[in-house]
Amino acid sequence: MELKVIERDDDLTQVALVGRLDIAGVQRVDARFHEAVVARDRSAIIDLTELEFIVSLGIGMLLRCARSLRAGGKSMVLVNPQDLVVKSLQVTSLDSVIPVVKSVVEAEGLLK
């Protein structure tokens, strides 16, 4: 599991999750994800293009960060999840709590 922070020249945070967000993956990136997303105190774009799999702990990680951002008046948008990840987001209804879009451009439009 890998967490990539994408540097931007605006007031948004963008990170990409790469690999499998299973139990070991969550343990590997949870603290860094929270630091990269919530600690920056900016709305966030989470690129899921290369995320292959997500378990309930991964869903919980995303939800906790989204709630922390919301408490500070910021938002989170999930971008371009693969089919298996989309199904997990739908089954857990996370897609009704955190917007899911197909592109970074769409995410930027929602956040600005």
pLDDT tens string 65-76:
999 999 999 999
pLDDT score at 90: 97
Mean pLDDT of 14-38: 97
Give the structural domain span for 56: 2-111
The band of 15, judged by pLDDT with boundaries at 50, 70 and 90, is very high
Helix (H, G, I), strand (E, B) or coil at 49: coil
The band of 37, judged by pLDDT with boundaries at 50, 70 and 90, is very high
Q: DSSP label at 72? A: T
- Dihedral of the alpha carbons of 30, 31, 36, 40, in degrees to the nearest 10: 130
What CATH number is associated with residue 90? 3.30.750.24
pTM above 0.75, yes or no: yes
* Percent with pLDDT over 70 in the chain: 100
pLDDT score at 112: 87
Number of domains in the chain: 1
Q: Give dist(CA 87, CA 46) in Å, integer.
A: 17
Q: Is the pLDDT of residue 51 over 90?
A: yes
Strands 12-21 and 2-6: antiparallel
Strands 43-47 and 76-79: parallel
Q: Give dist(CA 94, CA 60) in Å, integer.
A: 9
pLDDT score at 42: 96
